Each structure stands twice: as C-alpha cells, then as structure tokens.
Structure 1
C-alpha cells in the first residue's frame, strides 16, 4: 500500500491489514482469474452499469491477470480512495470503518476451480472485480462512504455476533477441500440453529441487509430494464447470468428491503432495483433516520443497553460518553441516571477531554441527566453562573426534575469554546434518588457530564484514541493451498506452465498447435482436468487455428461436464467461445 493509504488507517484497524504475496499465485490461479473475468467482462459489457467497463481499467484491474492490490491502491488514489489486503472475513464494523474512510479491503485469496461460478468465501475476484469498478462513479463512491459512516455506528445484538461467526465458519468449510460432507452439514446445522435463536433484528442486522440488497446484489434502472452494479453479481458467473430469468423476482428498491433476509451460501431468489444512485442515498437516509444515532432519547439509550457492546452516548451539550452502558435508572420524568462499565472516556467534538481518559475512568462512570427542578439547563450555563450558586467552600446543592438530589464541592470545570459548562469535577460528592445512593463521597471524585437530554447513541468510540493501537498483521496472502488441492494441481501445474510458454512464443501458430497437442496428449492421464483444456481451447479460438484440436478439446470438456454438471461451469465457458 502507498504511504498515503497507510497513514490513513486508524491504529486500531491495522491488525486486519496483511501483505499480498503476488508471487504466491501460480499459473492455475491465473487461469481461474482469466476464466471468470473473460466471461464476466464479455457479458457485463452489455448488462452492467456503464461505469463497469471503464472502471476495471481505471481501478487497476485487467481480465488477463490477478490484480496487484498495490496497483489498485495507486489507481484508486485518483478518486480519493485506497486499497489494502485483508485475510478473508473481517468483522462487519471494521469493514464499515474502512469503507467510511474510503479504503477498500481486498481479500486476496482466490477461489478454487470447483467454485468458479460462485464462492461463499471472500476472494479477490469478488473484492476487486466486484467492488472496485463502480467506485469511479462520483455519486456511488460518495454513497459508499456515507454508508460506512452510518454503518460503523449501528448497534448489534449478542446473537448477531454468534450468527456472524456461524456464517463465517460455514463459508470457510465449504471452500476447504479437507472438509468432509459431515463437517459441512454440521456447520450448516449450526447456522440454522443460531438463526433460529434470533428473536429480533438489530440495527446492524438490518443495515447488513441493506448492504446486501444494494452494494452486493443491487440492480439499477427499472424491474423490466436494468443494469447490474452490485459486487456480488458482478463477480459471480452464475448469478450474473441466472438473475435475468423469470424465477428471480425484480422488486423496486425501498427502505423495506431491510425486512428481506438472505442466505449468503445460496443464489438469491429476488433482487432490488434502484432507479439511480440518488435513490440509494434517499433510501439510506430513510433507514438512518430510524437508528439510535439519529433518534436519540429514551429509545436510543435502550438500544445501546440491549446491545451490550461498546458505544457512545452524546448529550445535547455535545459531551460524548464512551463505554458499555449497563444501567438506566428511571426518575420522575424519564431517564435520570446512566451507568457505564469501564473503561470509559468523556469527549467533546470526538476528542477525549484532558483527564477524562480510560485511565481516569477504568472502572466505569455514572452521571445524572435532565433539567434541574427549577428548569435550569446546566449546558446553557457558564462557570461564573456555577460559582455564583456555590457557597464559600465552592459547594453546590442541586435537585434535578427527575428526583435526583446532589451535593458536592467544585474542583474543576471543563467548558466548550463558548464557555458553556460541559464537565464538572466534584469532590465529597453525594448523589441520591429517593433512598437509593447513586454516588458516595468514599468513591472518590465525581465527574458530572453535563446534559439535559440524549441526542444520539452510537456503537463504537467517539475518539479512535479510545482503542488500544494495533500493529499491522505481518503475514502474507494467499495462504498455501490445502493438501488435497496442492496435490491435484501439482500434478498438472507443469502443463499449465507449458501452455503459457506456448502462448508467449506464439508467433508461429503452427508451433503453438503442436505444443498444445502434446499437452492434450498428456492430459489423457488427467481426465478430469477441465480448466486447462478450456484455456487451450480459448487460445486456439483466439488465434483461429487448430480446428481439429479445438473439436477434440470441446468434446472432452462436454464429457467431463457430464460427471458434475451442477458444479462445473463448462457450458458457460464453451458458450463464451461460441463452441456450443
């Protein structure tokens, strides 16, 4: 990655970034890329959003070779974006955080031959050729960043995290050649079980559906006349073709799409069609208006409490309290007291206030909220007003309209730029609500976060400095192939290399045909090797030579397809070559 992109990665996200070892891709991997991209490009020139064709080249992607993530990073810089390599799945919130700052996360592994049409696991075909080509469109890339900004602040529920891990596990075992049918069945059963335990949809779950039906599987136009822009469709040979059938329902996009669930491991029975990219923004805004980060108030506090994850409460004063909300105590007029478990920070304008960091509040934090019983909003008062209400020992006694009573000695005042009160530190502080003691002088100094009401609750920290910094992962992708794949591909790798050499020396078509014929003879010892046969045929068709060898290869491919018609995309490859 470039120094510019590297410098933009928040310290807590560095752990997800790995290096791409381009030399680890062998000739079989490159053949996989070409098989998918040659056909996808041919079809999508006619069926994809107009940005797709130019967008491939503009983002550093060629149909002839697996892209270099570093090259993509350089190309995307023209649009204010960047690209980094990651190792497969990363947590959903981390993905949204990267997207919010305009950095694409590229899972650099490449799918295996048995999953060419579609793979349930992230791979470089999907991550690069799927997501990158539409980024040069200004409206779309702006939408992606807004989506990330909203998405990273959505609350999940504990069951969401369990479902995510089950989906990740199922996707990985389906891609792993060492997985037995029983392992796959067990993983599917586990996913079905945890899905059955979900009793309600969290903000994050609904947002994920919106992402799926737009960014991943979106169509643009009308239900009768549409183009593809979703990355999952752009990178899937199977679904980018099958979607045009009547069995796939095309539905006008509305915010109600978030009520439609999906299965990541299977083709989708319906797709949603936006009229244009402006509508994507409109739908996103409709959805965002329902979230805790926008609605505030009692509802937002309850969503944060139910989530059980790190979040930030923002008061109408602008003070932001980051921690895990564990208790809301109701008073006479709504929430009177909130308690968060540590570590906790107090921030203003997304920056931790001096002396209000995790060290100060390592064990948690509590504060009152609301108006005083005389209607005073402390957030509208300044230090002079505060001191004028204190006695000679800087001691104040207050009663909130909620019923909370307070007394304490003023030790420090923190204000905003206008001088309005934001955090007041007291010693010898006592807080009660009726007979319940909320704070006792023996517990040490008390920091009051000034706020009459809650304007927002959002997942994550207000200031990224809340998180402990991490180091870049330090390992490389792609990983070594599993033993079964390595053994099978190792038996024919020299033939892929020989074929590539013939193409590079292809100034004399007769010699290329002779070389290919020798390779085809050797392939008789590998009757199931279909991808190399297709690559030989594709080169012969392009050069318009070796008609007899072409016919022989075509017949062998059709015979192989009979053994596993569902998994092998041979017919689509032959249709691309106009052989059937």
Structure 2
C-alpha cells in the first residue's frame, strides 16, 4: 500500500494489493479487445481532457494496467491514486477515500462473454472509464470536494441521495460542450459503447435530452440505473462542477 492509502481509517479493511503478474494472457486479450472497441468512438466524441489523461497516465491497449505504474504518473500531476480495493465499499469508506484522493479501484476484469456489459464495476470501468479524468486538476479537485461533502452528510440518507445525483450526472454520465459539440467525460459513457451511442445518435434514435447544467435541477433529477438515460446535463467547463460541489455543500450542510 502507499502511505496515503494506509492512513485511511474506515476504508483500510477493504484495501488489497493488485497482483498484476496473476493476470492471464486471455485477460490481457480481453482488455485489449475492450479498448479497441471503445477508442475509435472516443477519439471523436470524448472530451479533450479524457483523451489527454489517457496518455498522461500511460494506459495501454494491449495490457491490463499495473496500478502502481499508473500512480507513478498520476500522483505527481494531481495527488490522486488508483487504490485497489476488494469490491463494493460502504458509503463512508467510499467517501473517505475520495476525500483523501484515493480512487477505489477493483482489480478483476470481466470475461469475454461479458464484453458489452457487466452489472458490477471492474478494472475496465474503473481505470479506463474513470482514472484518466483524475489527471485533470480541476476535475481532481471537484472529486475530492465531492467526497468531503458526502462524508459530512454520511448520516443523512436523503441528502446523500441528492448528492448521489450530482455524482451520477457528472462523474458517471457527464457531458460537456466543447467547440459547439457535446463531448463525453462520464465513466458510464466512456466505458460503454451502447450508452455512448445512445447520446451521440440522440437526434435519430430518440436519445437523452441534453439540458444546461443546473445544480438544483441535478440534485432533484431522479434516474434509473437499469435503463438508458432520458436526461443529461451539459457543463461548459469543469470549473462549473467544482463550484457546484461547493454550492451543494452550502445548500445541504
């Protein structure tokens, strides 16, 4: 474990080591197939910050990431680390890790029969989908601020549910306007061809309505995890979501 990770109090029991040498050639082949399926679409439709982060942290098409190597590149840029965990974390452990700039990262990878979808996050969703954005300083600050706010609301289920909507419509299903075009940055879009296509081809396929980002609207926007999204909220910059996290604390504290 790195020094920052071992200082975690609540989440410490969920921390594990990634045994990178235990991955099989088949698993590396699955990773390569997943990346090859996503990159052509993302090169055109992902936001510039995601694509830049992908290269900054040294992700490769041909092999599963070694988190220690990723963190050697990521840490000096924003202070974040992709920290291996055993699986789903309880909310207090999850928010504690975010507040400490430790992103909970699963180490298992879906099998070839589940290339299109897995109901439980795996290393492809966590690292390919999330971690490149952590190399962007403003997004990195936003995510830490989000963790801090939620940790302070840990005993209020209703307020945490509202904050969960902010996470959903930014970190998971966030879109941003760049050069007059909707670009993707949320991990649920980045890591899923179906979800991305639903957004990209929305005019012809009845995809989601894209609304201007509004914090109050987001905090009150209900969603279903089990279906394609009907509404998404587009930001103009990542400063907007950082300020939103601070404003949410003022509204809900």
Query: Would you say same fold, with TM above 0.5?
Result: yes
Distance 1:23 1:140 in 2: 31
**After the TM superposition, which residues 35-184 of structure 1 pair with which residues of structure 2 at under 5 Å, given as runs?**
35-79=33-77, 80-156=79-155
Q: Work out the number of aligned pairs and report it.
A: 247
The reply to whether residue 267 of structure 1 matches residue 228 of structure 2 is: yes
Aligned to 2:187: 231
CA contact (8 A) 1:220 1:229 kept: yes
Which residue in 2 is equivalent to 1:284?
A: 245
Q: 3-state DSSP class of the match of 1:289?
A: helix
Distance (whole Å) between structure 1 residues aligned to residue 227 and residue 155 of structure 2:
24
CA shift digits 1:157-210 (9 cap, x unpaired): 5xx5xxxxxxxxxxxxxxxxxxxxxxxxxxxxxxxxxxxxxxxxx011010111
How far does residue 281 in structure 1 lie from its aligned partner after superposition?
2.1
Q: Runs of 4 or more off by more than 4 Å in structure 1?
A: none
| Structure 1 contact 120–264 (Cα < 8 Å) conserved | no
Cα distance, 1:290–1:156 mapped onto 2, change above 3 Å: same
Query: 1:374-453 maps to which residues of 2 (within 5 A)?
Result: none
List alignment gaps of at least 5 residues for structure 1: 161-201, 293-580
Query: Does residue 1:253 correspond to 2:207, yes or no?
Result: no
Secondary structure (helix, strand or coil) at the match of 1:118 reads: coil
The answer on whether the counterparts of 1:36 and 1:237 sit within 8 Å (CA) in structure 2 is no
SS in 2 for 1:71: helix
Cα distance in 2, alignment partners of residues 281 and 54 from structure 1: 20
Q: Distance in 1 between matches of 2:176 and 2:118?
A: 24
Give the match's secondary structure for 1:273. strand
Q: Is the 8 A contact 1:250 1:273 kept in 2?
A: yes
Residues in 1 aligned to 2:213 and 2:53: alpha-carbon distance in whole angstroms: 24
How many angstroms apart in 2 are the aligned matches of 1:283 and 1:242?
A: 26
Q: Which has the higher helix share?
A: 2
Contact kept, 8 Å, 1:32 with 1:112, in 2: the verdict is yes
Is 1:156–1:205's contact at 8 Å kept on the other side of the alignment? Answer: no
Q: C-alpha deviations, 1:461-482, integer Å up to 9, x for none?
A: xxxxxxxxxxxxxxxxxxxxxx
Question: Which one of 8, 19, 24 corresponds to residue 17 of structure 2?
Answer: 19
Distance 1:216 1:52 in 2: 13
Structure 1 residues 115 and 258: alpha-carbon distance in aligned structure 2, compared to 1, 3 A threshold: farther
Flag the 1:87–1:264 CA change in 2: closer, same or farther, 3 A: farther
Corresponding residue SS for 2:10: helix
Cα distance in 1 for residues equivalent to 2:74 and 2:4:
10
Q: How does 1:225-374 map to 2 (within 5 A)?
A: 225-246=181-202, 247-255=207-215, 256-292=217-253
Instruction: Provide Cα deviations, 1:366-408, integer angstroms capped at 9, x if missing partner.
Output: xxxxxxxxxxxxxxxxxxxxxxxxxxxxxxxxxxxxxxxxxxx
| Residue aligned with 1:64, SS | coil
Structure whose alpha-carbon radius of gyration is higher: 1
Checking the alignment, whether the CA contact within 8 Å between 1:251 and 1:271 is kept in structure 2 is yes
Indicate conservation of the 8 Å contact 1:216/1:233, yes or no: yes
How many angstroms apart in 1 are the aligned matches of 2:231 and 2:111? 27
Gaps of 5+ in 2: none
Aligned residues: CA RMSD:
2.0
